[in-house]
Amino acid sequence: MLDLETLSLRPDSVLLSIGLVPFSLEDGVKEGIEIVLDLEQQVGRRIDQGTVTWWIHQSLEAKKVFAAQRISNDLAMREIHDFIQKETVGPKNVKMWGNGSDFDNVLFGNWWNWGKVRWPGTPDIPWQFYNNRCFRTLKNLHPSFEGIMKGVQRVVHHNALDDARWQAECAVRMLRQIN
């Protein structure tokens, strides 16, 4: 499960943080990682006033991302690639879930491809395009999602890792009911 915190809703957004949480029906939800990105390295990517204003109204816990230690984009890409390789069965088999068919995976892919141009040697995006999955669609199609959601603890709303963990736990519960 992938979750992003951003400074725009557009594909070329500045990314604040990336949360990744592996899960499977057999093993459930595993430990994830959160990457907080260096904003100064994202010159030329989009920041929208509406999103910045939205961030002003979020909780103090969520806004801690602005004060967190950041890492360079090229190091972030290597860490993400290595994490996905370690936690999965390889890029051809990774199913990358995001919250919206047109949001997390799209923004992440745009950021990744933008970064590949700047940092030679960056590997290809660590999953195949045909393995994109949509958590929003899953939850909208699941009749008992409200009940499932109540049973899953979310620590900090709008924290990439906590949101990814919450979405993964909900997805596992829904998918187990379907299977």
Say if residue 10 is exposed, middle or buried (CB neighbours under 10 Å; 0-12, 13-18, 19+). Answer: middle
Paired tokens of 17: 């943080």
Architecture of domain 2-178: 2-Layer Sandwich (3.30)
pLDDT above 90 coverage of the chain, percent: 72
Identify residue 1 by its one-letter amino acid code.
M
Which pLDDT value is given to residue 126? 86
Q: Where are the domains of the chain?
A: 2-178
How far apart CA 14 and CA 16 sit, in angstroms, is 6
The model's pLDDT over 27-49, given as tens digits with 9 standing for 90+, comes to: 999 999 999 999 999 999 999 99
pTM above 0.75, yes or no: yes
The model's pLDDT over 67-103, given as tens digits with 9 standing for 90+, comes to: 999 999 999 999 999 999 888 766 678 899 999 889 9
**Where is pLDDT greater, at 151 or 24?**
24
- The pairing of strands 28-29 and 23-24 is antiparallel
Question: What backbone torsions phi and psi does residue 89 show, to the nearest 5 degrees?
Answer: -100, 25
Which pLDDT value is given to residue 91? 66
Question: What backbone torsions phi and psi does residue 4 show, to the nearest 5 degrees?
Answer: -120, 150
How far apart CA 60 and CA 71 sit, in angstroms, is 22
Please check whether residue 48 is in contact with residue 7, taking contact to mean a CB–CB distance below 8 angstroms: yes
How far apart CA 119 and CA 166 sit, in angstroms, is 32
